[in-house]
Structure formats: C-alpha cells, structure tokens
C-alpha cells in the first residue's frame, strides 16, 4: 500500500476509499489475523532480557508453537503474537500487563504547496518580522522517520547529492528484501525497515513501496529538490520537501491490507532506538472506532517517543466535514488537518453557444474542444424498473443504453453509494462519451480521472447546465482536458474531507492543532505504476489529496525547526508551529470552509502553518512530563497504572486530588479549550511561557480577541523576560456574559513588537452533544 492490473486496481481503491470517499470502505475491514498485542508499559531495561521475558510469558500458556510476531523491547515493553481469545484473557491477568487487545488495522489518511506556504507570510496583515532563514537553504542533519507503505528509492526526490556523511548518532539499518538491497539506501534515505508476520505467507517482505502513498509523503516531508517535476505536464515546477536536506528513515507498516497496529508499535520501538528526530504518520483509526489510549498503537508509540524527545506528527483523518471526527488527538501528538493551496485543476464544460462552466478534476480528455456532443440528464435515461434516485446518480443498471449512447451525461452524486469512477464506467459501458458530476464537496478537490472525459461541477452550476438542457431542443456540450490554474483565490480553504474537532477523546484540548496543504499535492511516485493512467507512461510524480498529504508538510517543518533549534524538545517545536500559525487567506480575509463560510479552530486548530515564523517564535509553551502524567490522571488512570505506562514518572509524583476530565484544560498546552463553562461561574487556567529569543531583556504585552458573549481576563497582562530559558506564568480567567448555544472562539496574543505568540481559545457550548 504486483502486476500492472493489481497495482491499478489498488490505486483506484486507495484514491477513492481513503481520499475521495472518507465514509466508504476502509482497510480496517481487512480479515482478522488472530494477532493480539500485549502492552506492558515502559521498558525497565533495554539489555535484551525483555524478549526472554516475553517468551517466558507465552510459555506460561502451555501451548506449543506460539511464536512472537513482534517483540517491543527498546523504549517500551510488550509483544504481538497469534493467540486465542482465551489465551489473550489469561495473559491480561498476568502481573505487569497493562492491556491486551486485538491487532487493529488502521487506515491511510490519504511542488507548489511549499512555495504557497512561504508566500502566505507576506500576505498577512500587520505581520510580525519573520526569520531570515529559508527552508531550502538551511543545512539540516535532522532525521525524519516515515511510517507508511514503504519507499521507491530510485525516485529523484531521494537523491543524496551534496549531502554530507550520515549523522553518527544514527543507529538504524537498511533491511534487504524482495527487490530491495542495502545499496538502495544512501545519505538521504539512510534507513529502511519492514515488518512482516513470520507466521503469514506474504510476498510483501520488502521496504519497497508498491502503493505509492509512502513515497509520496516521504518526498513531501524531506524530498530533495527536483526541477521540472509535473504530473504529465500539469503543476510543473520544482518539487521539494519541507526539509530537503533532512535524512529519511522508512518504516514500512502498511501493506495491501492496511496498517497493522502490531507493526506500528514495532516501528515506534525501532525508531526511538534508531535515533530519529521526527516521526510522521499519515494514518490512523476510524473516527467511529477510536480506541482507549492503552489500546491505541499510535497513542502508545507516540507517548514513548515524546518521552525520548521525538516529536510525532499525525494526520487528523479524512472523516470530515462532520464535527467530532478528528483522530490522533492526544496531547503528545501534533495533529494536522488539510487545506487547499492557490492552485486549481480546472476541467471546464462548454455548452452550446460556447457558455463555459468551470469544473474540477484531472483528466486528459481527447474530446473535441467544441460543444458537439449531445447532452442528457441521467434521470431522463432511467430504466422503467429503476428508481429515479438511482438513475440520476448514474448507478449501475439504472439507465437505458439507447438514451445514453454517444452523449455526455450529467449525474448527481448525492447518494455516495457508488464511486465516481464506477459511475463513469457505467456511462462508458452504456456508450456514453463523457460525464459531468454534480457534487459540491468533490468540486473542491481535484480527483484524478486519467483518460476519462469527466469533471465535477457545483450544484449551482449543475442547475445552470440542467436549465440549458431543459430549455434547448438539442443540447450539446464538451468536457475539456484539465489545465492548472495558478494564483487561485481564496486559498487556503479547508478541505471538505478533513476531520473536524472537537475531539471525542476530550473536549478540553483543541484538536486538530494546525492545518497544512493537503489538496492536490504533487510529490514523488512509484516507478512501476503503468496502469493508473491508461495510454501514458509511469508518472515520476503524482497528485494526491488527503490529510495524509498535509501531515508530512508539518513533519518537514518540524524537522526544519529542530535543525534550527537542536536543543528543543518536541513540545517546544509543536508550540513554535502552533503559535505562529496564520488565520488569513490570500484575499486577506479569514480562512473559509469549502462552502465559503468562515472556518473555526475546530477546522484548522491554531491556523495554517508558517514556514518562516515557526523557526523563531520568540516564546514557547513547553508541555512537560508532569503535564502528560496529569493528563493520564485526569483521563482516569491511577498512579499504579501510570507508573507502568511511563518511564519518567517523577519521584514523589501523585495524581492530583479530585482529578477529572475538566482539569485537562490546565495542562500547559499552546491552545486553550474549555468545556462545561456556566454563566455566572468563571474558570481559570494557568499557562507558562519560556523565552527562546535571546538574552536581551524584553517585555511582552497581552492582547485579547473574544466574542462579546465571552469575557477573558489575562493576569498579569505584561510579562518581563531577562534571559533565554526564563519562564513566566499567567492566568486566564474566562466567564460567559450571556447564555450561549454555540461554541465560542477567541485568542490571546503576546507580542513584544517583534514576535507574536498566539494561542486560540475555544469554549465548548453545553449544547454540544459530542
């Protein structure tokens, strides 16, 4: 995630299921493999004795032939093995075992974007001075660990030209496998691992990417600059990653069947030991089945990574635009939603009389540019036994071939029962020559239709097309091949598929944290994809959409921040990225949703990332070990459980009395989220800022932006810093001035005239039923 046909079919499945139709079939429905994960918390030692302990624990079951699938022994303890349900229950009762759970199958959350992000800082109104640094010219030695479908090492994006020696702290390896040798690694691609179940017969024993997803995200995060990149001539320019001089380490945890939790935990265990600085995961659970923290492979692995000074960046999920769908939402994870850039892939419809209707989609139509093809609304071609809703949606076996043949068909797409491509295939099978799909959501995302003469229009434009059809005796049209349109406005806007907050884990932390480009992103592709676009050669670069594509943008930025500030821990890096984020678009207005309405922090968190200001934020919020331990207390775990989970439980630490989920708002996070606030009752939270700008004395003043229904008081409103590393705390007192039925949004910004340090505020309405 091997022939051309198999690759093509899976590519379509991936593109439609993971990106275009977030509610559709998921890899999580893959067949149960009988593997259970046994999580035993922080590793007491790393001297090799843990694997022996794991084997001894299995031997207590008194069944011969049980083998370890994976053993976790570097930074946390546990293993995965083929067990029966009864055996899993038995092991769960053993001393030192925190949780035992079935091996989950997680799903993938599936260039111009970096130039757009760099340009956005120049469009801000009253923007503060940004760093003089440029991501493309910095000398980096950071290591980005990519957990995904593997890598296509021959891509030019992974060329190691001009890179120095591999950092001596790197302890990883380049595993050999099917069609993959150690020589495929170099000074850019410094490590590659794969995780196969020894008890399963599979051909997927290689770090090589047979899907494309991992190659795409790896090049987005840290790919070398490649001039002249394009997707068959579209989106031409230089493709590069956010941290083009960072090193890349690949951990192949996903296959054709999805992403096994047992493999993800093994990859975290290795990555922490190998010496990575950033871990990037463009995958996660379904919003409908978010596991508890001790049963969530990503949450477990990310917690231990944070303990070891590694920042973990994850995609927010593709289950939007519904509220409460964000995943990977624990406070030790940097969670990323998806937004657009200022490039549009336009595929227009031309009606009789040369009336042009703008459409969206990537196709290489060979239809005549003039409107010479008869045009019909699919409903008018309904078979007598079919429902009208089936026919107008172009569902299989619902239309009369005699009425479709030789025509361009207008289809609705409001039932989502069948994919866009299957609708076109039905039209094509019946003899149609083109398809115009009406769908407001899909109109905002450029899907790839290859050689198919197909485009997507808004419902408003579809009404205009149908009005023309109904008022003309011989309606005609054509669908034009795609052209890339630059300087598109407004941008960014939030992608419809991007998962939204508030988090179902807790409403007292704002998630997602930030947004980044995730729509129609050009990046490296696998070299054996000969069938995804029939009639054309394998593309070295491809265009994909999803929060999968947004996540590596932030991973690359995190690596750049780390290289500029090598002593910073993961929370300082996250704070720098969040507090410098942007809330305006290239029209100098607020970021909007795909419908044109104003977006909120539930959509974009702190805002869209800034690639320059994040390098020098002035002040940072450091979320320390005590904050995370307190989170676990507030979340419901007792001190005995926490001491098993965490390696760095401080001497004398105990859970605060009267711990409750409401207290999660008080951990030192860069954003402020409050739930259950009642009128005539105030709530106070404390935040602590650390000066990272230099030794010169400086004074920061607080400014507040809040709706009239929300009173916000900051005490003190002035913070004085005298040296680097100095910390200052302040209180935020929040109260309602009137009864409210909707969530409220505001912000606190600290500024000294040079730096602006902004924290969003979210107050969740009591009427919010999530």
- What is the CATH class of 668-770? mainly beta
Q: Name the CATH code of domain 344-486 (choices 3.90.550.10, 3.50.30.30, 3.30.420.40, 1.10.645.10).
A: 3.50.30.30
pLDDT score at 537: 83
Q: Please, where in the chain does CATH 3.40.50.200 lie?
A: 108-124+131-340+496-584+592-615
What are the two backbone dihedrals, phi and then psi, of residue 718, each rounded to the nearest 5 degrees? -135, 130
Which band of pLDDT confidence, cut at 50, 70 and 90, is reported for residue 201? Answer: low
Q: Please, where in the chain does CATH 2.60.40.2310 lie?
A: 668-770
Dist CA 577 CA 483 (whole Å)? 34
The residue behind tokens 């290795």 is 270
For 254-273, the pLDDT digits (tens) are 987 889 999 999 999 999 99
- List, as one string, the DSSP characters of 346-384: E--EEETTTEEE--B-EE---S-SSS-EEEEEGGGGB-T
The answer on pLDDT for 679 being more than 60 is: yes
For 106-118, the pLDDT digits (tens) are 988 874 444 555 5
Q: Please, where in the chain does CATH 3.30.70.80 lie?
A: 4-106
- Mean pLDDT for 441-460 is 90
pLDDT score at 116: 52
- Mean pLDDT for 403-412 is 96
For 564-619, the pLDDT digits (tens) are 999 999 999 999 999 999 999 999 999 999 999 999 999 999 999 999 999 999 99
Which band of pLDDT confidence, cut at 50, 70 and 90, is reported for residue 534? Answer: low
Whether 461 is catalytic: no
The residue behind tokens 């067990």 is 83
3-class secondary-structure state, position 147: strand
Whether 548 is catalytic: yes
Percent of the chain whose pLDDT exceeds 90: 74
Query: Which of 194, 243, 220, 89 is closest to 560 using CA atoms?
Result: 243
Q: Please, where in the chain does CATH 3.50.30.30 lie?
A: 344-486
Query: Which of 345, 353, 344, 367 is closest to 432 using CA atoms?
Result: 367
Dist CA 240 CA 6 (whole Å)? 29
The answer on pLDDT for 9 being more than 60 is: no
Dist CA 617 CA 633 (whole Å)? 31
Dist CA 404 CA 388 (whole Å)? 16
Give strand pairing partners of 441.
none
Give the distance from CA 726 to its chain's centroid.
34
- What is the CATH class of 108-124+131-340+496-584+592-615? alpha beta
The residue behind tokens 């007491």 is 44
Q: Are 388 and 379 in contact (CB under 8 A)?
A: yes
Mean of per-residue pLDDT scores for the chain: 88
The answer on pLDDT for 13 being more than 80 is: no
Whether 109 is catalytic: no
Considering just the CA atoms, what is the radius of gyration of the chain in Å? 26
Q: Are 426 and 396 in contact (CB under 8 A)?
A: yes
Long-range contacts, stretch 403-407, CB < 8 angstroms, 24+ apart = 403/376, 404/376, 404/430, 404/431, 404/432, 405/430, 405/431, 405/432, 406/373, 406/374, 406/431, 406/432, 406/433, 407/373, 407/374, 407/375, 407/376, 407/432, 407/433
Residue that wins the pLDDT comparison between 64 and 581: 581
For 185-198, the pLDDT digits (tens) are 999 999 999 998 88
Catalytic one among 498, 548, 571, 759? 548
What proportions of the chain, in percent to the nearest 5, are helix, strand and coil? 25, 25, 45
Dist CA 419 CA 411 (whole Å)? 12
CATH topology for the 4-106 domain: Alpha-Beta Plaits (3.30.70)
Catalytic one among 70, 109, 213, 602? 213
């Amino acid at each position: 995630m091997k022939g051309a046909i198999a690759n093509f079919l899976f590519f379509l499945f991936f593109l439609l299921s993971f990106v275009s139709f977030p509610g559709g079939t998921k890899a999580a429905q893959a067949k149960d493999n009988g593997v259970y994960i046994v999580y035993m918390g922080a590793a007491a030692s790393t001297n090799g004795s843990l694997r022996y302990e794991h084997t001894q624990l299995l031997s207590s079951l008194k069944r011969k032939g049980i083998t370890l699938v994976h053993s976790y022994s570097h930074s946390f303890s546990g293993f995965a093995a083929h067990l029966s349900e009864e055996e899993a229950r038995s092991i769960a009762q053993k001393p030192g075992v925190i949780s035992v759970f079935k091996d989950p199958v997680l799903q993938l959350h599936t260039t111009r974007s970096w130039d757009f992000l760099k340009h956005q800082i120049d469009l801000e109104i009253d923007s503060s001075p940004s760093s003089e640094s440029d991501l493309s010219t910095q000398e980096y030695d950071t290591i980005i660990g990519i957990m995904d479908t593997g890598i296509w090492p021959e891509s030019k994006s992974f060329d190691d030209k001009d890179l120095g020696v591999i950092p001596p702290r790197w302890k990883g390896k380049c595993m050999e496998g099917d069609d993959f040798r150690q020589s495929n690694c170099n000074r850019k691609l410094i490590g590659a691992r794969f995780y196969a179940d020894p008890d399963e017969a599979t051909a997927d024993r290689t770090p090589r990417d047979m899907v494309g997803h991992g190659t795409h995200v790896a090049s987005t995060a840290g790919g070398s600059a490649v001039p002249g990149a394009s997707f068959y001539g579209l989106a031409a320019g230089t493709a590069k990653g956010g941290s083009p001089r960072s090193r890349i380490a690949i951990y192949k945890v996903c296959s054709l069947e999805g992403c096994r939790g047992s493999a993800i935990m093994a990859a975290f265990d290795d990555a922490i030991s190998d010496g990575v600085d950033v871990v990037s995961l463009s995958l996660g659970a379904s919003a409908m089945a978010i596991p508890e923290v001790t049963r969530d492979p990503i949450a477990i692995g990310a917690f231990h990574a944070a303990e070891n000074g590694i920042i973990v960046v994850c995609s927010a999920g593709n289950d939007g635009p519904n509220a409460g769908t964000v995943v990977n939402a624990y406070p030790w994870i940097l969670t990323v939603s998806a937004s657009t850039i200022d490039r549009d892939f336009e595929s227009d419809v031309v009606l009789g009389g040369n009336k042009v209707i703008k459409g969206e989609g990537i196709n290489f139509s060979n239809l005549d540019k003039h409107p010479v093809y008869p045009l019909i609304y699919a409903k008018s071609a309904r078979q007598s036994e079919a429902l009208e809703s089936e026919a107008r949606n172009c569902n299989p076996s619902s239309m009369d071939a005699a009425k479709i043949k030789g025509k361009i068909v207008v289809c609705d797409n409001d039932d989502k029962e069948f994919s866009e491509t299957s609708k076109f295939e039905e039209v094509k099978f019946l003899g149609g020559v083109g398809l115009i799909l009406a769908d407001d959501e899909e109109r905002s995302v450029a899907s790839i239709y290859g050689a198919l003469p197909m485009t997507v229009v808004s419902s408003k434009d579809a009404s205009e097309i149908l009005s023309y059809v109904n008022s003309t005796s011989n309606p005609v049209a054509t669908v034009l091949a795609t052209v890339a349109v630059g300087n598109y406005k407004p941008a960014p806007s939030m992608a419809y598929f991007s998962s939204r907050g508030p988090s179902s884990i807790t409403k007292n932390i704002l998630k997602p944290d930030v947004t980044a480009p995730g729509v129609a992103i050009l990046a490296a592709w696998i070299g054996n994809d000969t069938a995804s676009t029939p009639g054309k050669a394998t593309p070295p670069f491809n265009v994909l959409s999803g929060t999968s594509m947004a996540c590596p943008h932030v991973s690359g930025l995190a690596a750049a921040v780390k290289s500029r500030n090598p002593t910073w821990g993961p929370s300082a890096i996250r704070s720098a990225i969040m507090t410098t984020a942007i809330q305006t678009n290239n029209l100098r207005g607020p970021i909007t949703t795909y419908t044109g309405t104003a977006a909120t922090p539930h959509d974009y968190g702190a805002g869209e990332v800034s690639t320059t200001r994040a390098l020098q934020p002035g002040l940072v919020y450091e979320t320390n070990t005590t904050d995370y331990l307190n989170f676990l207390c507030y979340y419901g775990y007792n001190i005995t459980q926490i001491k098993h989970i965490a390696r760095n439980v401080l001497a004398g630490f105990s859970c605060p009395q009267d711990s409750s989920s409401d207290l999660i708002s008080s951990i030192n996070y860069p954003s402020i989220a409050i739930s259950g606030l009642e009128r005539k009752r105030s709530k106070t939270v404390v935040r602590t800022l650390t000066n990272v700008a230099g030794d010169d004395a400086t004074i920061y003043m607080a400014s507040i932006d809040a709706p009239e229904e929300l009173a916000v008081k900051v005490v003190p409103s002035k913070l004085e810093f005298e040296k680097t590393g100095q910390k200052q705390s302040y209180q935020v007192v929040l109260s309602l001035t009137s009864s409210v039925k909707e969530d409220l949004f505001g912000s606190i910004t600290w500024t000294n005239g040079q730096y602006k340090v902004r924290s969003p505020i979210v107050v969740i309405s009591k009427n919010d039923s999530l």
